[in-house]
Structure 1
C-alpha cells in the first residue's frame, strides 16, 4: 500500500512543479521576467532537480539584467545619476547573488555604464569627504559597495580616511557632551559611535534608569466558577508567566533600572449547566403475521407501527468569561479587557433499541479548558502591542529640545519611520535612522 501512495504523491508534486513552470513560461513570453523568475524559483523549491525550471530561471534572470541595464542608461541620459547608480548597484548585487556572468553586448553595456559611473562616484566621494558629515560618506560606501568595487575605485577612497576620522571624532566628542542624567539610549548610541571612530570617551549617567523597570509582578485575580478549576487555574498561571516574559523582552525592561512594574490579571468565569428530564418517543415499523380477513386459513404479513418511549436528559450550558490586565507605567494606564459568552444545548440518553434505530447518545458539553485557552491565547500578542504603543506615546510624541536626541533614539526602536526621528538623524548626521541603524547596529 505504501508504494502506490508514494508514487501518487510524487506524481502530484511533479504535476504541481510542471504547472509552475508553465505559468512561468507564459509570464516570460509576456515580458514579465521578474514574476516568471519567482515562479521558476517556487518550482525549484519543490523539485531542485527540475531542469526546465532551472533553465527558465537562468534565462529570466538574464533578461532582468538586460532590462535593468537599459533602465540604468535611460536614467543616466536623463541626468539622474543617483537613480542610475542605485539601479546599477542592484544589478551588480544580483549578479553576485545569482552567480551570473555577462557576455557580449550585455557585458559591453555594463562596462560602458560603469565607466560613466566612475566619474560620478569620484565626484560624489570628493564632495561627501569635505562635507563634514562623515556618516554620509560611510553610508555612501555601504550603499554602493558593489559599484565601487566593480568600478575599481575602492582603494582611491582611502585618501579621505584622515579627513573622515577627524570629523567623526569631533562629532563623537560633541555628542558625548550631551550624555548625562537619564539619557541611557543616547549613551548606548554614543558608545558605539565613538568606538567606530576610535575615539575614547568617558560617559557618565545616573545609577538607575527611572523610566524603566528591572522587575515585573503580575497579581492574579481569579473567579473560576467552573467544575474544573484546576485546569483553568493552570491556564491562567501559564498566561501570566508568558506576560512576564513579554514584559522582560520589551523596551520597558532593563537591568539598569530599579523599579518594579505591577499589573493585575483579572479572570472572571461563570458557568451554569441546567438539566431537564423528559421522555421521548420513537416510532418504528414491525412486520407481523396476521389472519387474512378474506381467508381464515391463511396468514399474511402486515406492517404495524409501534412506539418506543425512552428517557432523555436535555442540558443547557451558559458560559461567560471576562479577562484582562491593567497596570500603571510612567503615569499612563495600560489595560485591556475582553469578554465572551457561549450558550450550548445538548442532550443524552441510554436507549439502545435496534428495531427503532436507537443507540445511546452522549451529551456534547462545552470543553471549558479549550474554550478558555482560545480566549487567553491572543492576550500575549495584545500585551506586547500595548507595551509598544505606550512606548510610542511616551517617546514619539514628545520632542522637547532638551531631550530630543534621547527621545529620537527611544522612538526609533518602535517606529523607525517617525518623522521627528528621521529629522533629527538627518540634521545631525546627514542620513536617516535606517542608514544609521545599518552603520552602527542601533
Structure 2
C-alpha cells in the first residue's frame, strides 16, 4: 500500500485518490500504461479475484508491449540495431514474466522484428567468435538469451564452442600461473572461470589469508542506570550482536582469514525519572447572596474569593547515552562516538474544572527507546562505512595494480566503477567489471 499511496500523491492532479482500479483506468486513458499496470497489480494484491483489475492489467500490458515494439521498430529504422535488439529482449522477458502471448497486429510486428533481430544476432555471433576475448561471446549470449532461444539460434552457435573454449583455455592457464598461494581472490576467480568453461584444474589446497579475519572478538563494557525497565539494556546487547554481524558480512571476514579482529564497545546509559506530588491552587471569585447587615430584611450580592486545590504529580526525567567503539583494522585505528542527553519535565493530574480551564492531563514521557535506537544505528552505520573505507584505502589505492589482478578483484568487490578495475578487465577479458560479474558472480 505504501507504493500505491506514493503513486496516489504523484498523480493526484490527474486521478485523485480514488480506488486503485479507478486510478488504473484513468491512467490507462491518459496513455500512462506502465503506471496504470502498477495500480492494477496493487488492486490484485488486495483482491486476486478482482475481474476489473485482471482485465485492466491485461490491457495495460498489451499496450506496453505494443508501444515497446513500436520503439523497437523506430530504433531499427534509425540505424540503432543494438538498441532495438536489447529492447526486444526486454519485451520477451516481460512476456515470460507476465505469461502473455502477443496476438493480432502486435504478434505480426513482433514476428517481423524477431526476423531482423535474428539476422543481426547471427552477424554479431560470427564477429564475436573471431575476437580474442571468448567472454565477449559468452556475455553476448547472456544478454540476448531470450532472443537466441526464440529464434532457435543455439544450434547454429555450437560451431563456435571449440574455438572459444581454446581461447578460454589460454586465459585459464594464464590465471592459474599467476594465482599463487597469497592471491586468494585471483585464485577463487580462476577456479570459477575455468570450471565455467569446463576446464577443471587441479589447484593446490589454499592456506590462510593474512589480510583478512576469520573471527571477531568484541569486548562490551556497559554502565546502565535505568529507573524501571531493562529493555534499553537489552538494546545494548543487541547492538553488540549487530556489530558482529556487520563485520561478518563485510569483505574483511573470511573463513580462511588468519587474524582475529578485536573491537571494544563501551556505552554508558542513564535514564531516571523522579516524581513529586504538589498541591496547586487556582483562585476564583463567586457571587453569593447574603443578608444586608444594615437592613436584615434585604439581601446583598457579595463577591467571595475562593480557591480550588488539586494534586499534581510533577515528573523530571534525565536521559543520557554515551557510546563508543574502537579497534584496529589493517593497521588503521577506527573509532567513533555518539552521545545524546536531555532533561525533560512533564506532569499529570485528574482535576476537572472546565470553568477554570482545568482538565485532566496525562504525562508525556521521553521516548527513550527511539532515542537510543537512533544513536546505536548511527554507530553501526558508521562502523560499516569505516570497514568499507579502509578496504578501499587498502586495496583500491596504491596497490591496485600489484599482483596481477589480486587487488583489482579485491577493489572491484566494493568499487566496481573504479577506473583501474574496469580498464584491467577490459584489457584481460574485453568486458567491464559489471559484465564479468554478471557472468561469473564476482
Aligned counterpart, 1:6: none
CA distance in 2, matches of 1:156, 1:24: 44
Worse-superposed segment, 150-159 or 376-385: 376-385
Partner of 1:405: 405
Q: Shift of the alpha carbon at 1:368?
A: 5.4
Q: Are 1:323 and 2:323 matched, yes or no?
A: yes
What is the distance in 2 between the residues matched to 1:101 and 1:311?
Answer: 76
| Offset at residue 68 of structure 1 (A) | 1.5
Partner of 1:10: none
Aligned to 1:55: 55
Could you report, residue by residue, the CA deviation over 1:150-179 in whole angstroms, capped at 9, with x for unpaired residues?
222121111111112211222111111111
SS for the counterpart of 1:84 is: helix
Structure 1 pair 38/260, CA: closer, same or farther in 2 (3 Å)?
same
1:380 shift after superposition: 3.0
* Matched residue, 1:441: 441
CA contact (8 A) 2:17 2:23 kept: no
Q: 2:101 corresponds to which residue?
A: 101
CA 1:313–1:125: 2 relative to 1, 3 Å: closer
Q: Partner of 1:212: helix, strand, or coil?
A: strand
C-alpha deviation, 1:109, in angstroms: 1.9
* Deviation by residue 1:254-273 (Cα, 9 ceiling, x = unmatched): 11122111112122346677
2:40 is the counterpart of 1:40: yes
Question: C-alpha displacement at 1:148, in angstroms?
Answer: 1.1
| Alignment deviations for residues 108-155 of structure 1 (CA, whole Å, 9 cap, x no partner) | 222222222222111111111121211111111111111112222121
Q: Distance in 2 between matches of 1:431 and 1:403?
A: 20
Offset at residue 304 of structure 1 (A)? 3.2
1:221 maps to 2:221:
yes
The structural deviation recorded for 1:288 is 6.1
- Paired with 2:51 and 2:341, the residues of 1 have a C-alpha distance of 56
Question: Which residue number in structure 2 is paired with residue 386 of structure 1?
Answer: 386
Q: Does 1:112 align with 2:112?
A: yes
In the other structure, the counterpart of 1:4 is none
Contact 2:24 2:36 in 1 (8 A): yes
Question: Alignment partner of 2:339: what SS?
Answer: strand
Shift in CA distance, 256/60, structure 1 to aligned 2, threshold 3 Å:
same
1:419 is aligned to 2:410? no
Distance 1:378 1:433 in 2: 32
Partner in structure 2 of residue 375 of structure 1: 375
Alignment of 1:2-401 (within 5 A): 19-204=19-204, 207-224=207-224, 233-269=233-269, 280-284=280-284, 290-292=290-292, 296=296, 304-308=304-308, 316-347=316-347, 366=366, 371-401=371-401
Matched-pair contact (CA < 8 Å) for 2:227–2:273: no
CA contact (8 A) 1:180 1:204 kept: no
Bigger mean CA deviation after superposition, 113-122 or 350-359: 350-359
* CA distance 1:408–1:293, shift in 2 (3 Å): farther
**CA apart distance, 1:66:** 1.6
Tell me, what secondary structure is at the counterpart of 1:164? helix
Verify the 8 A CA contact 1:334 1:390 in the aligned structure 2.
Answer: no
Q: Which residue of 1 aligns with 2:11?
A: none
Assess if the C-alpha contact under 8 Å between 2:219 and 2:263 holds in 1: yes
Contact map agreement 1:277 1:314 (CA 8 A) in 2 = yes
Distance 2:350 2:37 in 1: 63
Check 1:169–1:137 CA distance in 2 against 1; reply closer, same or farther (3 A cut). same
**Aligned residue pairs, count:** 428
Q: Which one is further off, 18-27 or 222-231?
A: 222-231
Deviations 1:417-438 (A, max 9, x none): 3333222222221222222222
Q: RMSD of aligned C-alpha atoms?
A: 3.5
Are the aligned partners of 1:133 and 1:167 in contact in 2 as well (CA < 8 Å)? yes
Specify whether residues 313 and 77 from structure 1 end up closer, same or farther in structure 2 by C-alpha distance, changes over 3 A only: closer
Q: TM-score when scaled to structure 1?
A: 0.84
Q: Could you tell me the TM-score, scaled by structure 2's length?
A: 0.84
Of stretches 99-108 and 309-318 in structure 1, the one that deviates more from structure 2 is 309-318
Counterpart of 2:402 in 1: which secondary structure?
helix
Compare 298-307 and 213-222 and name the one that shifted more.
Answer: 298-307
- Provide, for residues 254-309 of structure 1, a one-character-per-residue CA deviation record: whole Å limited to 9, x for no partner: 11122111112122346677888976433256786633558635778866332256
Matches of 2:343 and 2:321, distance apart in 1: 12
Deviations 1:327-369 (A, max 9, x none): 1101222222112121212357899999999899887665656
CA deviations 1:162-200 (Å, max 9, x no partner) are 112211222111111111132111111111111111223
Contact 1:317 1:344 in 2 (8 A): yes
- Decide whether the 8 Å contact of 2:400 with 2:408 is kept in 1: no
CA distance in 1, matches of 2:243, 2:301: 74
